[in-house]
Amino acid sequence: MNEELKIGVIGTGMIGQDHIRRITEVLSGARVTAVTDADRTRAEEVGARRGATVFADSASLISSDDVDAVMICSWGPAHIDAVLPALAAGKPVFVEKPLATSQGDCVKIIEAEVAAGKRLIQIGYMRRYDAAYAALKATIDSGAIGAPLMYHSAHRNASVPPDLYTDDMAIADTMVHDIDVARFLLDEEVSQIRVIAGRKNSVGGALRDPILGVMEMSGGAIVTVEVSVNIGYGYDIRGEVSGETGTAELAESNHVVVKSGDGFAGRVPADWRERFIEAYDTEVQDFIDNARKGVVGGPSAWDGYAIQVVSDAGIEAARSGRAVPCAMIEKPTLYN
Amino acid sequence: MNEELKIGVIGTGMIGQDHIRRITEVLSGARVTAVTDADRTRAEEVGARRGATVFADSASLISSDDVDAVMICSWGPAHIDAVLPALAAGKPVFVEKPLATSQGDCVKIIEAEVAAGKRLIQIGYMRRYDAAYAALKATIDSGAIGAPLMYHSAHRNASVPPDLYTDDMAIADTMVHDIDVARFLLDEEVSQIRVIAGRKNSVGGALRDPILGVMEMSGGAIVTVEVSVNIGYGYDIRGEVSGETGTAELAESNHVVVKSGDGFAGRVPADWRERFIEAYDTEVQDFIDNARKGVVGGPSAWDGYAIQVVSDAGIEAARSGRAVPCAMIEKPTLYN
Amino acid sequence: MNEELKIGVIGTGMIGQDHIRRITEVLSGARVTAVTDADRTRAEEVGARRGATVFADSASLISSDDVDAVMICSWGPAHIDAVLPALAAGKPVFVEKPLATSQGDCVKIIEAEVAAGKRLIQIGYMRRYDAAYAALKATIDSGAIGAPLMYHSAHRNASVPPDLYTDDMAIADTMVHDIDVARFLLDEEVSQIRVIAGRKNSVGGALRDPILGVMEMSGGAIVTVEVSVNIGYGYDIRGEVSGETGTAELAESNHVVVKSGDGFAGRVPADWRERFIEAYDTEVQDFIDNARKGVVGGPSAWDGYAIQVVSDAGIEAARSGRAVPCAMIEKPTLYN
Amino acid sequence: MNEELKIGVIGTGMIGQDHIRRITEVLSGARVTAVTDADRTRAEEVGARRGATVFADSASLISSDDVDAVMICSWGPAHIDAVLPALAAGKPVFVEKPLATSQGDCVKIIEAEVAAGKRLIQIGYMRRYDAAYAALKATIDSGAIGAPLMYHSAHRNASVPPDLYTDDMAIADTMVHDIDVARFLLDEEVSQIRVIAGRKNSVGGALRDPILGVMEMSGGAIVTVEVSVNIGYGYDIRGEVSGETGTAELAESNHVVVKSGDGFAGRVPADWRERFIEAYDTEVQDFIDNARKGVVGGPSAWDGYAIQVVSDAGIEAARSGRAVPCAMIEKPTLYN
Ligand SMILES: [Mg+2]
Ligand SMILES: [Mg+2]
Ligand SMILES: [Mg+2]
Ligand SMILES: [Mg+2]
């Protein structure tokens, strides 16, 4: 395809608008031709500003001839009702995380994609497109540290909104990224998960924070995840793989080291936008480049399903204090 | 301008093709509509592949209505014959370094741009667009280290082609980037330069390598530059500013730290493409974004002239062993 | 006491000889006046070389007027039979780890020391004397990271002897140092411990390696410990505390960064001797300085007991796959 | 010698008292038996406190049978009058830097030592005993970076006393350490030196600070030295060697990295005592160990002379703005 990819965006909230900006002002090979949103006024405003046609609903947007590919940025519960029609239309679809909000819905989507006979879905787990995680994965795959045996992850947020962020969200919204990365780096599924909570960070009031996730993987690797969401100093993403003959860890991301006061110092990113801005660009450019070639790559519906299973198990594990197994359906060959 | 910027590229060699790829496949808001090259066959090949019209010469390309902005990627001696017509046509022009190959030609270009009454030229000194140099500049400007007093730069290449790379190129092709960065970081011109050569790296045979440049700046800051061009291990770009109350230095650029063998290790970029790939993208996107708004920014013709003066003085300093003053014309107000 | 402290050393094997060398050639204020060993020939050889009187057994050495303080470097099971007489004699005693080999013996020692009415025992948990751990402790105590909530420890050995090192030793000989450090840094006892083993490092054959210890502390902090004992690249000791408002971690210990080959590199210590050589010097100098002032400090019999309890629980936890509580006697006020 | 070395200390000011503390409380194999000082009261106080005999003057102390070795900690101009009698007495002598205060006096000392037929003098250039500099030297000597071609040194003090510290002291008291290290690391003498001063740090008022020393070595290596003495944030000692196939640089010396506020941070030593406390211990222990074996090592009288020559040339270079050659007498074979 030499023509620019025409993208229809479902959901014009914060993340939707950000992807529209990205496609329009930063990336190459695509433009946003269509938008829709449950909030019609918001869709009108964005469409007018960006020169995109406003559609009344997902169905009409998806079926439009002016839409080559679909980007779903609505809230989680609405995803399935946009994903299934997009699959039916045979159009490439980029879905922001989560794929859906229940394992059952994820399975329905998988069945539909398998029935379509080819991958059409890319999910917005952007960390896989981050240069540092990609280098970590490449290091493992190169054999430089032997077979990986443990992975230690830390996911620290400067702060979360006290009235909106719940105990479950620490797993379903935050730890899911570490679950995705662990599966990506180790090429194993999660067999069972424990979640251990100790003394609470007083900054977060009654919030169960920090928590420690401990996962045992299908091939025997062990994963630890610290989630701390009110640590104040920034958005600090750490990852270290311990293998048979070595270790590999993410380097710090600062550009400059300053010496002043009584020592040296470097910056930690303020939030995920600062830390992963290039990863967001890269994942969407990859979606565009692939779609123009008629293929879809990146995190798949299977990944979305597997993460949903582990997230559900993690929430149960946190409540029960017990290890919870992660039972999954058989993996369709489409995803191998 | 809501329309894509139509760019005509003069010179379709390695760097020209790379910019065409960048504009076409990576960046947003522009497309390459026209190409020309002294090697007509090469221009035809590139034009056909990229869907751009092939012009017989610079003059016809520049005057074409299908060209909104000009990008000059021919070899240095040909720059002036493309820059001056582009200025006459009032079209934004991106010129790969050097601006021209003599101070006299640089002055002619400056006079033409001043006569045009507004900036039209951006020169491809890409380091200013590198995130790390930008952060170093921002650190200085924030006052975090007080007024800058010294700048130490190291510019190390893994290797240079033994038959093509000359003693003068270590200054005119290599050290010019450090000269540019020193002027950028310190906001001062170079008053005089010494170049000291000692024992030669035996890897480079008769090449005068490494060399040390020592510059005294117009405001009294002092700059040292190590240029080593056969150091083997990679392309290593170091910079540290020492100020009244602190220092700031470029961090290493590696993404991963690996422990194996008998210690830890991280990567140094193999070459300038790896180190500055994002800076190249950013500088051209900035040119595009500006041109669509009718303005031009980034390194100016004045910068190109000033660097030429220092480069010439540096070559004389290396030959004579003496400090050579850097005499410049008065700076036109256009460049303040 | 202006006189040099006269030390009698029980056990003249590798560690005993190393402490004798340290006292004789490195440290100030003490000399070795007496030695004994189950292997009489070895004791004779060391005594002759170092000018120390050879005693037939611990009892006669301890009761000698030529012995101000006792250093016990025999194998673990023999410790109690030297510690109790030293306590009875009211002489300061430095005991290499472990204090004893059962919780019951540890309790007997504690009771004897409590009966003596003052601290007489310092145990050789040398990490508390390491400058980096001391700085980490000082950072926590300064309040710079708020109350500590998690501690992540990694304890990696280049290799262990395949025929001698057992699964239990990974806890009783190796993880005990991390248990000690966790208690030291967090000022909490261990409430329960889990030990999780996954895929084995093929380098170690049937050895259960690596293992993950997960401890819940009496005040609610959570501790993770990776023990990997055949990782090849060196002796790598990592520690990171995550607190309410920040984190603090051990820096790398290398002195030099080398760039060569295709990147940068630094050294990891080859083994514990290289990593902790100064900590060994410091702990023994502290013992000497204290003994000359009539006091004893550093890791106490209580620490030795507490570590024994957690080590026993850890071994059970590794075998059972369950969390095992760490039940302890009431802490005598002597140790507050 | 199995007996402790009996040391007589000449000069009981700050540095003298610190060495006495070191010998008495920290190091092994020596004790201070004799002291003298121009200030008799101070000598009496120190002697009484440390149990050392107080002598009326250097001559009587040096000739005492109760003195095996001499340590000279008086002020620089008095050094020669203690060094020459010690040489005449054939006793090992540790001289604090500088060896003497003129090249002529240094030559007299060298002639006397040569006449004695063996090395008796160790000078207190302690950096050679620092673990990091020693590792840097070992790296060069290992061939890991090929033949060294450039050395970049930075010597930064938090502050200097405004009324006492002069322009000349920046060379004679401060830069001398970098001169010593450059000679040590590169195994070359200094052929000529330039000193360049630019804009002054306003913190230091009229003080010429910072300054840049540029040295050309006898074998062709090039050395740059930044001396900044009012930089505020600490005592920051940097060193990087650039060789034919790689570079090697001193690592930071911090023990802990803290994340808090909005980034990460580590400590820079407050002053030279903190940075080099172990190097001072090591150099004096080496002097003791050697003296007990009847030999003397470490920085020699030749080193003291060579540094004096370069320091004198540096002061002249700073005043004249010109490169000043460093002419030296022929090196006696005693120092090879
Ligand atoms: Mg676009
Ligand atoms: Mg484009
Ligand atoms: Mg001793
Ligand atoms: Mg002593």
3-state secondary structure chain C: CCCCEEEEEECCCHHHHHHHHHHHHHCCCEEEEEEECCCHHHHHHHHHHHCCEECCCHHHHHHCCCCCEEEECCCHHHHHHHHHHHHHCCCCEEECCCCCCCHHHHHHHHHHHHHHCCCCEEECCHHHHCHHHHHHHHHHHCCCCCCEEEEEEEEECCCCCCCCCCCCHHHHHHHHHHHHHHHHHHCCCEEEEEEEECCCCHHHCCCCCCEEEEEEECCCCEEEEEEECCCCCCCEEEEEEEECCCEEEECCCCCEEEEECCEEEEECCCCHHHHHHHHHHHHHHHHHHHHHCCCCCCCCHHHHHHHHHHHHHHHHHHHHCCCEECCCCCCCHHHC
Nearest to B243 by CA among B316, B146, B156: B146
pLDDT category of residue A3 using cuts at 50, 70 and 90? confident
Taking the Cβ of residue B48 and every Cβ of chain A, the question of whether any pair is shorter than 8 Å is answered with: no
- Is there a contact between C24 and C32 (Cβ–Cβ < 8 Å)? yes
Query: What confidence tens digit (pLDDT) does each residue in A47-105 have?
Result: 999 999 999 999 999 999 999 999 999 999 999 999 999 999 999 999 999 999 999 99
Most D CBs within 10 A among C21, C26, C256, C275, hence the mutation to make, goes to C256
pLDDT at B18: 97
Burial class (CB in 10 A: 0-12, 13-18, 19+), D65: exposed
d(CA A279, CA D274): 43
Using DSSP, state whether D15 is helix, strand or coil.
helix
Measuring CA to CA, how many Å separate A147 from each of C159, C207, C231, C331, D90? 17, 16, 11, 45, 64
What would the two tokens of residue C287 be? Answer: 């013992």
Burial class (CB in 10 A: 0-12, 13-18, 19+), D294: exposed
Residues of chain A with Cβ-Cβ distance to B250 below 8 Å are: 255-257
Nearest to A275 by CA among A204, A192, A177, A150: A177
Q: Is the dihedral of CA B188, B190, B194, B196 positive or negative?
A: positive
Q: Is the pLDDT of residue D1 over 60?
A: no
d(CA C234, CA A240): 17
- Is there a contact between C198 and A150 (Cβ–Cβ < 8 Å)? yes
- Is there a contact between D95 and D79 (Cβ–Cβ < 8 Å)? yes
d(CA B109, CA B41): 30
Query: What confidence tens digit (pLDDT) does each residue in A109-144 have?
Result: 999 999 999 999 999 999 999 999 999 999 999 999
What count of other Cβ atoms lies within 10 Å of the Cβ of residue A189? 18
Dihedral, CA of residue C37, residue C39, residue C40 and residue C46, to nearest 10: -70
pLDDT at B176: 98
Closest residue on chain C to A155 (Cα): C242
Query: What confidence tens digit (pLDDT) does each residue in C91-118 have?
Result: 999 999 999 999 999 999 999 999 999 9
d(CA D57, CA D39): 10
Q: Is the pLDDT of residue C27 over 80?
A: yes
State what percent of residues in chain A have pLDDT above 90.
99
Residues of chain C with Cβ-Cβ distance to D52 below 8 Å are: none
- What are the respective helix, strand and coil percentages of chain B, to the nearest 5? 40, 25, 35
Overall average pLDDT of the C50-58 stretch = 97
Using DSSP, state whether B226 is helix, strand or coil.
strand
Residues of chain D with Cβ-Cβ distance to B232 below 8 Å are: 244-246
Using DSSP, state whether A281 is helix, strand or coil.
helix
Query: What confidence tens digit (pLDDT) does each residue in D316-328 have?
Result: 999 999 999 999 9
Query: What confidence tens digit (pLDDT) does each residue in B148-176 have?
Result: 999 999 999 999 999 999 999 999 999 99
d(CA C150, CA C130): 21
d(CA B310, CA D165): 36
Q: Give the helix/strand (H/E) hosting A139.
A: helix A131-141
Q: Strand A236-243 and strand A247-250: pairing?
A: antiparallel
Nearest to C192 by CA among C319, C330, C314: C314
**Ligand 3 centroid distance, CA of D2 (Å):** 12
pLDDT at B228: 98
Query: What confidence tens digit (pLDDT) does each residue in D62-102 have?
Result: 999 999 999 999 999 999 999 999 999 999 999 999 999 99
Taking the Cβ of residue D262 and every Cβ of chain C, the question of whether any pair is shorter than 8 Å is answered with: no
* Cβ pairs A/C, distance under 8 A: 115
**Ligand 3 centroid distance, CA of D50 (Å):** 17
pLDDT at C2: 67
Contact C220 A202 (CB under 8 A): no
Residues of chain D with Cβ-Cβ distance to B135 below 8 Å are: none
pLDDT category of residue D3 using cuts at 50, 70 and 90? confident
Q: Name residues whose C-beta falls within 8 Å of residue A48's C-beta, 6 or more positions apart in sequence.
A: none
Smallest Cα distance from B225 to chain A, Å: 19
Taking the Cβ of residue C228 and every Cβ of chain A, the question of whether any pair is shorter than 8 Å is answered with: yes
Q: Is the pLDDT of residue D169 over 80?
A: yes
The secondary structure of residue D163, as a DSSP letter, is: T
d(CA A125, CA A329): 21
Residues of chain B with Cβ-Cβ distance to C252 below 8 Å are: 264
Contact A147 C199 (CB under 8 A): yes
Q: Which residues on neighbouring strands pair with residue B194, listed in sequence order?
A: B214
ipTM over 0.90: yes
Q: Which residue has the tokens 């210990």?
A: C253
Cis peptide before A98 (omega within 30 of 0): yes
Which residue ranges form the domains of chain C, and what is each CATH number? 5-126+278-298 (3.40.50.720), 128-275+307-335 (3.30.360.10)
Q: Is the pLDDT of residue A327 over 80?
A: yes
Smallest Cα distance from C239 to chain B, Å: 16
Contact A198 C222 (CB under 8 A): yes
Query: What confidence tens digit (pLDDT) does each residue in B94-134 have?
Result: 999 999 999 999 999 999 999 999 999 999 999 999 999 99
- Is there a contact between C222 and C215 (Cβ–Cβ < 8 Å)? yes
d(CA B32, CA B184): 30
Phi, psi of C222 (to 5 degrees): -120, 140
Residue D228: half-sphere exposure toward Cβ, Cα within 13 Å = 32
Q: Which ligand is nearest to the CA of A30?
A: 1
The secondary structure of residue A273, as a DSSP letter, is: H
Q: Which ligand is nearest to the CA of A5?
A: 1
Closest CB to B234: pick one of C233, C263, C266.
C263
Among residues 75-134 of chain D, which lie with CB inside 8 Å of chain C?
A: 131-132, 134
Length of chain A equals 336
Contact C139 D256 (CB under 8 A): yes
Residue B324: half-sphere exposure toward Cβ, Cα within 13 Å = 19
Most A CBs within 10 A among C190, C193, C212, C268, hence the mutation to make, goes to C212
pLDDT category of residue A301 using cuts at 50, 70 and 90? very high
Q: Which residue has the tokens 């399935």?
A: A80
The secondary structure of residue B176, as a DSSP letter, is: H
Residue D1: half-sphere exposure toward Cβ, Cα within 13 Å = 16
Contact A214 C217 (CB under 8 A): no
Q: Is the dihedral of CA D46, D50, D56, D59 positive or negative?
A: negative
Taking the Cβ of residue B57 and every Cβ of chain A, the question of whether any pair is shorter than 8 Å is answered with: no
Q: Would you give the distance in Å from CA B292 to the centre of its chain?
A: 23
pLDDT at B1: 47
Q: Which residues on neighbouring strands pair with residue C121, listed in sequence order?
A: C93
Q: Would you give the distance in Å from CA B166 to the centre of its chain?
A: 19
Closest residue on chain B to D149 (Cα): B199
The overall average pLDDT reported for chain A is 97
Closest residue on chain D to B224 (Cα): D224
Q: Which residues on neighbouring strands pair with residue B5, listed in sequence order?
A: B30
Q: Is the pLDDT of residue C1 over 80?
A: no
- Is there a contact between A305 and A106 (Cβ–Cβ < 8 Å)? yes
Q: Which residue has the tokens 């006020």?
A: C333
What would the two tokens of residue B321 be? Answer: 């062993």
Taking the Cβ of residue C278 and every Cβ of chain B, the question of whether any pair is shorter than 8 Å is answered with: no
The overall average pLDDT reported for chain D is 97
**Ligand 4 centroid distance, CA of C26 (Å):** 9
- Is there a contact between A84 and A116 (Cβ–Cβ < 8 Å)? no
Closest CB to D242: pick one of B147, B150, B210.
B210
DSSP track, B76-115: GGGHHHHHHHHHHTT--EEEPSPS-SSHHHHHHHHHHHHH
- Is there a contact between B72 and B13 (Cβ–Cβ < 8 Å)? no
Smallest Cα distance from B289 to chain D, Å: 32
Max Cα-Cα span within chain D: 64
Closest CB to C258: pick one of D27, D248, D259.
D248
Taking the Cβ of residue A161 and every Cβ of chain D, the question of whether any pair is shorter than 8 Å is answered with: no
Overall average pLDDT of the C199-220 stretch = 97
Taking the Cβ of residue A233 and every Cβ of chain D, the question of whether any pair is shorter than 8 Å is answered with: yes
Q: Strand B263-267 and strand B256-260: pairing?
A: antiparallel
Chains that touch C (3 or more CB pairs under 8 A): A, B, D
Query: What confidence tens digit (pLDDT) does each residue in C269-301 have?
Result: 999 999 999 999 999 999 999 999 999 999 999
Query: What confidence tens digit (pLDDT) does each residue in B229-272 have?
Result: 999 999 999 999 999 999 999 999 999 999 999 999 999 999 99
What would the two tokens of residue D158 be? Answer: 């938090």
Q: Strand B93-95 and strand B121-123: pairing?
A: parallel
Which stretches within chain B are classed as H helix? 14-21, 40-50, 58-63, 79-88, 103-116, 131-141, 169, 176-186, 272-293, 301-320
Q: Which ligand is nearest to the CA of C20?
A: 3
- Is there a contact between A34 and A12 (Cβ–Cβ < 8 Å)? no
The overall average pLDDT reported for chain B is 97
- Is there a contact between C73 and C10 (Cβ–Cβ < 8 Å)? yes
Residues of chain D with Cβ-Cβ distance to A159 below 8 Å are: none
Closest residue on chain D to A252 (Cα): D264
Smallest Cα distance from B311 to chain D, Å: 21
What would the two tokens of residue B119 be? Answer: 């900036």
Query: What confidence tens digit (pLDDT) does each residue in C123-134 have?
Result: 999 999 999 999
Q: Give the helix/strand (H/E) hosting A212.
A: strand A211-217
